[in-house]
Amino acid sequence: MRALAIAAVLTAAALGACGKSSTSPLTDNTNGKTDTTTHTTTPVDLTARVNELLAEMNSAQGAVSQGAAAGGADLEIPGGIKLSASRSALLTPSGPSFAGVPNDSAAACTFDSTAVRFNCPARTLAGSGLIHIVSFRFVDSTGKAQTHFDTLATMGLIRWTADSGTRSQPVQTMTGPVPATQSTHNSDSTMLTGLHVGQTHAQNGAGSLQQMIAEQGVVDTAFITAPTTSAGIQTSQTVPYPVAGSYTAVVHTVQGKTSSTTTQVTSFDGSPTATLVITFVGGGKRTCTYSMTTTALPVCTGP
């Protein structure tokens, strides 16, 4: 079956089996008899297919978020929020760690006919307390929004994520952890293409990271913003991490009269190890590598 319409709710019934059983009168030209054998096609579970695609996008986001542990910080602290030991405002914004975050279930998402997209239930992420919101849309070859996933005509899946919240979490300094209040608002829009057999899955998109950190005993609040870009990130269902492409964040930090900007590029080369290169104003660089399949800390060289 070529397509499966979806009404108000994306359920297994609406996105489910696309095959069917049918009794087809086939004429045998040799003896003139009619073949009334029942011919059954193999069902295609579209709900499962969409879930696989969403999980694939989630795993790529998880691989990128792991690199936040290495960015612009002298010391690591739980949760991924960083403050340089010299208090030079080299703060690295990070969303929640998506490693281990449960994938979204397409069957739980409702169809918004006005926006022509599916909205998934908001979730609170364990560990960070951030509210995680996901929505997605199917598009054809012209970029036009579709009301259903069509195995032939659907050319892309656009996924939007938003994470926000305020929580009390210490930041690490040279003298030890300091209590702090951290507010986060991150958003991202990513399109997955190459959905047909024989094509290469690729993710491209853009987003924004925003964070505010108020340390106890420090007058100046740190404000961090970073536009982000995903370029040619290749993924699949067979390998649980990106195998090509890059993710770039231009991190701008203001804390009192001090400001800094770093360009942080995470790249993937087909191995389980990702490389993060942080370029400072003036040309200095820090290079970090980390495993996307373990929880081992990044290994960094440079300032």
The domain locations on the chain are 12-16+45-301
State how far the Cα of 278 lies from the Cα of 262, in Å rounded to an integer. Answer: 6
In terms of Cα–Cα distance, which of 171, 169, 95, 93 is closest to 130? 95
Q: How far apart are the first and last CA of the chain?
A: 58
Q: Which residues contact 248 (CB under 8 A, 6 or more apart)?
A: 228, 229, 231, 263, 264, 265, 266
Six token digits for residue 5? 């319409």
Tell me the pTM: 0.77
Q: Which residues contact 144 (CB under 8 A, 6 or more apart)?
A: none
**How many CA atoms within 13 Å lie on the side-chain side of 293?**
9
Residue type present at position 137: R
State how far the Cα of 272 lies from the Cα of 290, in Å rounded to an integer. Answer: 8
- In tens digits, the chain (303 residues) has pLDDT values of 444 333 333 333 334 333 333 332 333 344 455 545 554 444 446 888 999 999 999 889 888 887 765 554 332 222 333 433 333 333 344 433 444 466 788 999 999 999 999 999 999 887 778 899 999 999 999 999 999 999 899 999 999 999 999 988 777 666 677 888 989 899 999 999 999 988 999 999 999 989 898 988 888 898 989 999 999 999 988 888 999 999 999 988 888 888 888 899 999 999 999 999 988 888 889 898 999 888 788 888 887
State how far the Cα of 287 lies from the Cα of 211, in Å rounded to an integer. Answer: 24
Six token digits for residue 294? 């373990």
Q: Which residues contact 31 (CB under 8 A, 6 or more apart)?
A: none
